[in-house]
Amino acid sequence: NAGVTQTPKFQVLKTGQSMTLQCAQDMNHNSMYWYRQDPGMGLRLIYYSASEGTTDKGEVPNGYNVSRLNKREFSLRLESAAPSQTSVYFCASITPPGRSSTEAFFGQGTRLTVV
């Protein structure tokens, strides 16, 4: 999807391994989000960032950490992967409230399998 780039697209980890999912947007948005998508459960918010240097927990933050070092990039880290973290992960970049129109862009997703 235009404007939001996620890497990698696919990843298989062994239980206990660590990895970082990368996300970058080129639309100069302040707000960025990480979601996980599981069958029958929709999109659940892991963490979000309203601006550079700030992060907040979402619905399901346990087992994850995030980093927003600059306006463009928002990374998600799994320190010790567990099978319960097998999911499809989406990064999103969304315009803030108050605008006349709202743009919401999602990345293509990262399909993560933890064995």
Partner 1 sequence: GENVEQHPSTLSVQEGDSAVIKCTYSDSASNYFPWYKQELGKGPQLIIDIRSNVGEKKDQRIAVTLNKTAKHFSLHITETQPEDSAVYFCAASRTTSGTYKYIFGTGTRLKVLA
65 in Cβ contact with 33 (< 8 Å): no
Site string for partner 1, 78-107 (x = CB under 8 A): ------------x-x-x-xx----xxx-xx
Q: For the chain, how big is the Rg over CA atoms in Å?
A: 14
Of 35 and 64, the one with the shorter C-beta distance to partner 1 is 35
Give the shortest CB-10-to-partner 1 separation in angstroms.
11
Choose which of 5, 17, 50, 63 interacts with partner 1 (CB under 8 A): 50
85 in Cβ contact with 78 (< 8 Å): yes
Site size for partner 1 (CB under 8 A)? 31
58 in Cβ contact with 46 (< 8 Å): yes
Is the preceding omega at residue 39 within 30 degrees of 0, hence cis? no
CA distance 39 to 24: 26
Residues in contact with partner 1 by the rule CB under 8 A: 1, 4, 30-31, 33, 35, 40-45, 48, 50-51, 54, 56, 58-59, 90, 92, 94, 96-97, 102-104, 106-109
